[in-house]
Amino acid sequence: MSTSPDIAVVIGGASGIGWATAQLMAARGDTVAIADLDGDAATARAAELGGRTSGHRVQVTDEHSMRTVFDTITERHGAIGAVVDCAGISRPGTIADLSLADWKATIDVCLTGAFLSVKEATRTVRDGGSVVLVASLNGRQPGVAMSAYCSAKAGVLMLTEVAAMELAPRRIRVNAVNPGFVHTPLTSGAGLVPGLVEEYVENTPLGRAGTPEDVAQTIGFLTSDAASWMTGSAIDLNGGAHTMRYPNIIERIADMSAANGATDA
Ligand code: NAI
């Protein structure tokens, strides 16, 4: 069973949800390894947390890079108890307009990165440990102009279930969280489109967007003994937004362009 204090790897841990998760895990006594594409930020975050926290550069889409970083972390800290994959990108665009390169980049980081995270976990997580994959509300609720992201996150949900089956004999639990809109650097662009965040909030029964800490709390639960009977599950975490509908990004951008055109005229 996963016990705290433990050795935890937070991929994508230098920013947003990953950083909040790293802080929460360190605060409860875990030794945290922060791995991120932005290696300097990962190192700076580790220094901020102090103690035995370490920072590493990793490219989640690259098997060699993932293997090397997990080996380094194991050598430095010992057997890993929990892996949390928070790395993600979003490249919006309608299917007609989305480039194949943007489709592939999104699938690569969001889905292949999750696959390699689980794959490395099979090698380096001790029996009884756990894995948490950050999927999304968009893994189950479609959004116009979000085909790549929605498809990747839906894939993460099925990956979670398959991984849970395969790792259960070693009592390694694999779960996912499905956050709705959370204010982080990833979503800062949405704030520039008038009405977009407001439309999300209007379609959220609890009437607010999320914070990175909202998500970190649930990841903390899933990696703790309190969740010892949970595997292959996904927790919706979105103020109830899954009961309603996702904002139409393209309509909002069109409204913004029309408004700008009217101002320019
Ligand atoms: P963020 O942009 O603040 O943090 C993502 C981190 O992942 C960054 O530190 C970035 O450097 C790292 N990263 C990106 N590509 C990488 C790669 N190829 N290899 C290694 N690291 C990489 O974003 P945020 O919002 O904290 O997102 C975390 C996760 O939560 C992502 O999987 C995202 O899709 C998911 N999510 C976010 C939501 C939101 O509203 N912010 C909603 C639902 C899911």
CATH classification at residue 173: 3.40.50.720
Ligand 1 centroid – CA 9 distance (Å):
15
User: What local confidence, expressed as pLDDT, does residue 80 receive?
Assistant: 98
> What is the domain range of residue 80?
7-187+209-244
The beta-strand segments (E) located in 74-134 are: 80-85, 125-134
Show which residues are catalytic. Answer: 149
Q: Atom 39 (ligand 1): residue with closest C-alpha?
A: 182
> For the ranges 1-10, 87-96, 126-135, 224-233, which has the lowest average pLDDT?
1-10
Q: What's the confidence (pLDDT) of residue 143?
A: 94
The model's pLDDT over 195-246, given as tens digits with 9 standing for 90+, comes to 889 999 999 999 999 999 999 999 999 999 999 999 999 999 999 999 988 8
> How far does the centroid of ligand 1 lie from the alpha carbon of residue 213, in Å?
14
Ligand 1, CB cutoff 6 Å, lining residues: 12, 14-18, 36-38, 58-61, 86-89, 109-110, 134, 136, 179, 181-182, 184-187
The Å distance, Cα 89 to ligand 1 centre, comes to 6
User: Nearest Cα to 84, choosing from 49, 43, 135?
Assistant: 135
Q: Name which residue sits closest to atom 12 of ligand 1, judged by CA.
A: 12
Tell whether 101 is covered by a domain.
yes
Task: Please say whether the beta carbons of 132 and 84 come within 8 A.
Answer: yes
Across residues 183-191, what is the average pLDDT?
91
Cα of 138 vs centre of ligand 1, distance in Å, is 14
Assess if residue 182 is contained within a domain: yes
What percent of the chain lies above the pLDDT cut of 90? 87
Using the atom order of ligand 1, give the atom closest to the CA of residue 17: 26
- For residue 10, give both structure tokens: 């937070």
Q: Determine the average pLDDT of the residues in 54-78.
A: 98
What mean pLDDT comes out for the span 186-195? 88
More confident residue, 171 or 244: 171
Q: How far is the CA of 107 from the centre of ligand 1 (A)?
A: 13
Q: Which of the pair, 80 or 265, is modelled with greater confidence?
A: 80
Q: Is residue 195 part of a domain?
A: no
| Rounded distance between C-alpha atoms, residue 221 and residue 217, angstroms | 6
Residue 215 burial by Cβ neighbours in a 10 Å radius (0-12, 13-18, 19+): buried
Q: Tell me what pLDDT residue 193 has.
A: 86
Atom 31, ligand 1: residue with shortest CA distance:
88
Computed over every residue of the chain, the mean pLDDT equals: 95
200: in domain: no
pLDDT of residue 1: 41
> Cis omega (within 30 of 0) on the bond before 205?
no
Give the total number of structural domains in the chain.
1
pLDDT for the residue 28:
96
- Please check whether residue 134 lies inside any domain of the structure: yes
Which pLDDT does position 229 carry in this prediction? 98
Looking at the chain, the whole-number percentage of residues with pLDDT higher than 70 is 97
Interatomic CA distance for residues 63 and 76, integer angstroms: 20
Other residues' Cβ atoms within 10 Å of the Cβ of residue 123: 12
State yes or no: pLDDT of 103 exceeds 70: yes
CA-nearest residue for atom 10, ligand 1, is 12
Residue 68 forms part of a structural domain: yes
Instruction: Let me know if residue 252 belongs to a domain.
Output: no
The whole-number pLDDT of residue 246 equals: 85
Q: Are strands 234-237 and 173-179 parallel, antiparallel or unpaired?
A: parallel
Classify residue 204: in a domain, yes or no.
no
Nearest ligand 1 atom, CA 109: 18
CB of 174 closer than 8 Å to CB of 225: no
Atom from ligand 1 closest to the CA of residue 85: 32
Confidence of residue 4 (pLDDT cuts 50, 70, 90): low
Residue 164 has pLDDT above 70, yes or no: yes
